[in-house]
Amino acid sequence: MCYLSSDNTTIEPDDIPKTKENVWILGKKYSAIQDLDRIRRDVSSIIWCTYRKGFVPIGDEGLTSDKGWGCMLRCGQMVLGVALTRIHLSTDWVWSPETRDPTYLKIIQRFEERKQAPYSIHQVALMGASEGKEVGQWFGPNTIAQVLKKLVVYDKWSSLVIHVALDNTVVKEDILQQCIIKNELNNSSNMVDGITVSDWMPLLLIVPLRLGLSEINPVYMNGLKICFQSSQSIGVIGGKPNQALYLVGCVGDEVIYLDPHTTQRSGLVENKSTDEQKEMDCSYHCKYASRIPILAMDPSVAVCFLCRTKSDFEELCSTIENNLMQESQPLFEICEKRPSHWGPCSVDIDLNKTALFAEFEDVDRQFDDSDDEFEIL
């Protein structure tokens, strides 16, 4: 971003308002006045995924850029980037242009424009195509959630389970079935008084929601704020009409977001040893966030939470039950058992099947190279 006036004097960016209200970003509370530098440091540490150009062709049309169609895919990449950073580094991890941590580099390489990268635009777009979304078509929040859910199955290193809640309902039983892994009984190191110890697979919980017909219903505003304020929050996949955005937090009645609508060249970070690789790494980090009013958001969203431990999940359940469900119109609900009319739960994803999820989206649009198109539900 350039913040120079006509007389070449520096203008302070308007990313965070000068307010006494708390700023919430990815579940952390900040003071807009006292913590401004820390806010910007933490925002710049988020892996920022944007349109790219000049990558290996994708699909039948041989597309070499995702400009105009990949914004929702990029938002999904950003959510997953935060999840992997928190799992494999830490919640308080900080990036700088000098960072060469091998674990960080391993994460960033997963999003590069290479067919072999588990979460590259190629993998995301092609997995979407296997589910009826041709390369170059728009994804909605539910589509990207379901695609990411399947992609993480291929990437054992990520050590992550993605659960996509159905019908505005989080079912504890289904999540525990996915996340709790029983250790072998004959492994004495995992025994406590003869009882098997259970391991918890980190959980990325995504809840696709529709919060109005053509615009956000104000009754949901406080519920969204509760989600952003949860310590397990890793943001919201959503946007404003015609543009997908990664909503990372809120302040007052505004949401704070990172925007994927910048087209950058494609390239590799690798081990970050050359100037070109260092420059490429910097292209994955944005100095300043932006803001829009909550009521200016598109009503189709997917709220995202990361539970690294079972106690994280229990704390999130408590927040949903004691805060979110006390709203006059809750965003979503949580229940112990799977509703009987849903039928049995299939925890394992059959990667050989192609129609694994029902879409919220059913919109017929023609492809064009526009930055202003976004799949409206």
Catalytic residues: 71, 259, 261
What letter does residue 33 receive in the DSSP assignment?
Answer: T
The two structure tokens encoding residue 319: 């927040």
Q: What are phi and psi of 98, to 5 degrees?
A: -90, -5
In angstroms, the CA 285 to CA 274 distance is 18
Structure tokens at 254: 């505004």
Backbone angles phi, psi at 145, to 5 degrees: -60, -45
Residues 6 or more apart whose CB falls under 8 angstroms from that of 70 comprise: 51, 121, 125, 260
Q: Coil, helix or strand for 43?
A: helix
Q: Using the CB atoms, write b or e for 32-64: b if 16+ within 10 Å.
A: beebbeebbebbbbbbbbbbbeebeebeeeebe
27/217 Cα distance (integer angstroms): 23
Distance separating alpha carbons of residues 47 and 306, to the nearest angstrom: 16
Length of the chain: 377
CA 357-364-142 angle, to 5 degrees, is 30
- 25 pairs with which residues across the strands? 28, 249
Q: What is the DSSP string of 76-142?
A: HHHHHHHHHHHHHT-TT----TT---HHHHHHHHTTSS-TTSTTSHHHHHHHHHTTT--TTSPP-HH
Q: Which of 223, 227, 237 is nearest to 27 (CA)?
A: 227
Angle between helices 141-154 and 121-129 (to 10 degrees): 110
